[in-house]
Structure 1
Amino acid sequence: MKGIVEERAAMLGEYIIESKATVRKAAKKFGISKSTVHKDVSQRLRKVNPALYREVRQILETNKSERHIRGGMATKNKYLLKKQAQEREKLKNSEQNQ
């Protein structure tokens, strides 16, 4: 996704608004780095399309305020899956021993 940076900034802004995406999600979708996405939507977009910039800023602020919750849920799911895998392994081992 190389091209005119102002155009890319606008496309990133529209994608973030439509999907309520995080910077990481937008970077992955467009195949560019998080730093590039952040620079595009926080600096370049402000100059190119101030109205779009304000909408994107609101979404990014919301994402920022919720990130600790997402991190906690990811950790919870990680250990839940680990526990389930251990229980399946125990069950498998007990069935083989019988």
Structure 2
Amino acid sequence: MQNYIRKRAVKVAAHIIQTSDTVRQTAEVFGISKSTVHKDVSERLPKINGQMAEQVKNILEKNKAERHLRGGEATRKKYSQVVELV
């Protein structure tokens, strides 16, 4: 694994731990794809830092469990704005 990939994986993981951002939010911050973020934290990070990988895994599992709530909230906001315009 190249050094810049190792550094990116650790930076991405540190960001997720610090902010509890989703994979999508993290990808946007770093200007990389969601697939790259996921690969960095699920495949590469455990080889670099197992403890950090476990922390990130727990945060991403929590985000995954809450995603239906986020989607519902986004839909509610979308339609409340439509009603205000009418």
TM-score category of the 2 structures, normalised to the smaller one: over 0.9
TM-score, normalized by length of structure 2? Answer: 0.96
Q: Does 1:9 align with 2:28?
A: no
Structure-2 residue corresponding to 1:77: 77
Taking the aligned partners of 2:17 and 2:46, their CA distance within structure 1 comes to 15
Q: Does 1:59 align with 2:62?
A: no
Query: Deviation per CA, 1:21-77, whole angstroms, max 9, x where unpaired?
Result: 000000000000000000000000010000000000000000000000000000011
Give the Å deviation of 1:6: 0.8
3-state SS in 1 of match to 2:44: helix
Taking the aligned partners of 1:27 and 1:68, their CA distance within structure 2 comes to 20
Structure-1 residue corresponding to 2:25: 25
Q: Which runs of 5+ in 1 are unaligned?
A: 87-98
Poorly superposed stretches of 4+, deviation over 4 Å: none
Higher gyration radius (CA) = 1
3-state SS in 2 of match to 1:72: helix
TM-score, normalized by length of structure 1? Answer: 0.84
Taking the aligned partners of 2:58 and 2:21, their CA distance within structure 1 comes to 12
Q: Report sequence identity in percent.
A: 49
Taking the aligned partners of 1:8 and 1:17, their CA distance within structure 2 comes to 14
Q: Which runs of 5+ in 2 are unaligned?
A: none
Amino acid aligned to 1:9: A
